[in-house]
Chain A
Amino acid sequence: MAVILLIGLIGVAPPTHVRAYDTPDDGGGSIMVEWHLSQDDAILDGYEIYRSNDGDVYEKVGFIGRNRTRYEDSNTEDGENYFYKVVALKDTLKMYSQASQPVMSSPQWFDLPKLNILIACVIFGGLILYFVYHARKGKELYIRKIAGLQAIDDAVGRATEMGKPILYTTGTGLIGDIATIASLNILGEIAKKCARYDTQLINPHLDPIVYTVAREVVKESYTQVGRPDAFDPDSVYFITDLQFAYAAAVSGIMVREKPATNFLIGWFMAESLILAETGASTGAIQIAGTDRVPQLPFFITACDYTLIGEELYAASAYISKEPLLLGAIKGEDLGKLIIGAALIAGSIIGLLTKLPILNLFK
């Protein structure tokens, strides 16, 4: 009671040394405000941040709890001057700090803390371009056998002999997912086999853009093997963009059309087990592949063959023998060696010296 009375009589100390500066390494539209804690920080509710364009009229732009000395105002106009005050708040008591120096936000061209990402992208990109160049020159690039891929020919052949269709789903990923792109590459190769053997392909989709791309991929494959007439535009179709409605529909297709082979290759979420179990119950051969770690155990459990993680990316190169894809796999392999070497070298440096080695990977 006495403390409250005392606070009421003398107020609380305001924060000091308020400093505002353009948020570094960003795309603009943001100013960082810093201050020294109020001497009464322990009893405060927190700090209110006020902003002004002219230094006279201030408006509240944010609130942050006590024991905090920094606030990011991410709603500023680039090129406009702003003044900031920080207010120590206790119930209805407010103590204003001195105003900061004027500051304006601006965008930066480079995000310097992410320089290591740029270097990694340049190294890996350079390696891939190097191997693609050599692959295009006709150099033989070796890729080891991958079990699931050996089964693709058998699976397509089985469907052809049984006179049943092949179901291929790219999962529920968007076009930006690398697994989806890898899946579309594999779809192209499987579509070629379907075209050659005159096997029916069923390719239902969840995402309209992936569907549009897949349709072009399949159409192109039929054209490449000289069977454009055999391409059925209705074989590649959009169902719905709701995950479980899609799973329900594809499950229905599996039990009604009874495909001889199901390819579940791409980006999957919870529908993976629904699809894999339904497919297994129909007696179809199932070849699955994804880079989604939580879904891989379900595929391994319920499918005949599973492409694990990066095997999926390697698969499209292995099947197609395309120089571009082979070069990419070779580049990635060398990248893995570099990562392994970086881990070993980094660990030796980290254990034997006091150099801040981890800062290189922030």
Chain B
Amino acid sequence: MNISLDPWIWISALLTVSIFSFLYRDNPFYRFAEHIFVGVANGWAVTFYWHNILVPSLFDPLFRRGQLLLIIPFIIGILYLTRFIPRVSWLVRIPIGITMGYYVGASIPADVQAYIIKQTQGTILTSQNFQAWNAGNMGVVWSIILFVGVICTLSYFYFSKEHKGVLGITSRIGIIFVMIGFGAAFGYTVMARISLLIGRLQFLLGDWLGVIH
């Protein structure tokens, strides 16, 4: 056993243990760590946005280099603060509208490409897609399973009709495919979470207590 003498390791370790104590129940140690966590996160965020975004991307170019067009995003940004002045608080809807419009406009073509065009391309039954599985003759089988799964899953998410008759059968098959997918995702994600836990335990038992190397 070789306990660390580094005060920062001790602070990290005690905060980690405090957060873990929530597994037992809510307690003053957890509350202390939680508030420290939130406070530090906010302090870090304010300085990060100030030094990495506001100053280099807005204030310096606008006020020092005279790039006057930046006055437009500056004013739009300022409008977010109008909600603190009740008489003009309605102005906050202008930047909200601009931000939402921009993000939705940017994300829709990307989503159509990633979730519709590319997935359709990968699902169509062709000899090229059979080979993409790299599974020899089984590529045909996997492609057909994928094809049936996609069609049936689409039918499950069809909202305009009650799931009865043929639609009832296909949607039931579809939800089975969905659940199999979730099962795989569950196992995969749990493995990733366990590796995070192992990382913390290695820190506690290795860096802090020196029990393991």
A residues whose Cβ falls under 8 Å from a Cβ of B: 114, 116-118, 120-121, 124, 142-144, 146, 174-178, 181, 209, 212-213, 215-216, 239-242, 244-246, 248-249, 251-252, 255-256, 270, 273, 293-298, 300-301, 308-311, 314, 329-330, 333, 336-337, 339-340, 342-344, 346-347, 350-351, 357-358, 361-362
Contacts and interface: CB of A to CB of B under 8 A. Distances in A.
B193 A273 contact: yes
Given A175-B100, A358-B129, A121 B38 contact: no
B45 A240 contact: yes
A251 B26 CA distance: 9
A330 B160 contact: yes
Nearest to A360: B121
Nearest to B167: A144
B193 A270 contact: yes
A117 B121 CA distance: 13
Given A174-B103, A256-B26, A294 B38 contact: no
Given A256-B26, A270-B193, A361-B121, A297 B108 contact: no
B117 A358 contact: no
Q: Which 9 residue pairs of A and B lie closest in terms of their CB atoms, listed nearest first?
A: A176-B103, A350-B126, A361-B121, A242-B41, A297-B186, A347-B125, A245-B41, A346-B124, A297-B182
**Main secondary structure on A side of the interface with B:** helix
Interface in B53-99: 80, 83, 92-93, 96, 99
B154 A212 contact: no
26 contacts: A114-B109, A116-B117, A117-B112, A120-B116, A142-B161, A143-B160, A144-B163, A178-B104, A212-B96, A240-B41, A245-B38, A248-B19, A248-B34, A248-B37, A249-B34, A270-B193, A297-B183, A300-B182, A301-B186, A310-B157, A336-B154, A336-B158, A340-B151, A340-B154, A358-B126, A361-B118
B111 A298 contact: no
Given A143-B160, A297-B182, 5 more contacts: A116-B117, A213-B96, A251-B34, A296-B182, A301-B186
Contacts of B112: 117, 120-121, 124
Contacts of B22: 251
B159 A333 contact: yes
A51 B194 CA distance: 50
Contacts of A310: 157
B42 interface: yes
- Chain A CB count within 10 A is highest, among B31, B40, B96, for B96
A124 B104 CA distance: 15
A23 B41 CA distance: 42
A356 to B, nearest CB: 9
**Main secondary structure on B side of the interface with A:** helix
Interface of B: 19, 22, 25-26, 30-31, 33-34, 37-38, 40-42, 44-45, 80, 83, 92-93, 96, 99-100, 102-104, 106-109, 111-113, 116-118, 120-121, 123-129, 147, 150-151, 154-155, 157-163, 178, 181-183, 185-186, 188-189, 193
Contacts of B113: 114, 117
Contacts of B120: 339, 342-343, 346, 361
A223 to B, nearest CB: 12
Contact of A357 (B19, B126, B157): B126
Nearest to B171: A144
Contacts of A249: 34, 37-38
A309 to B, nearest CB: 7
Contacts of A362: 117, 121
A230 B129 CA distance: 58
A239 B125 CA distance: 49
A140 B123 CA distance: 34
A119 B203 CA distance: 53
Contacts of B118: 361
Contact of A358 (B45, B128, B163, B185): B128
A270 B196 CA distance: 11
A40 B154 CA distance: 54
Contacts of B193: 270, 273
A293 B159 contact: no
A143 B157 CA distance: 11
B101 to A, nearest CB: 10
B48 to A, nearest CB: 10
A124 B193 CA distance: 38
Contacts of A340: 151, 154-155
A249 B102 CA distance: 30
A357 B128 CA distance: 10
Nearest to B42: A240
A242 B45 contact: yes
A308 B121 CA distance: 24
A142 B160 contact: yes
Nearest to B44: A242
Contacts of A347: 124-126, 147
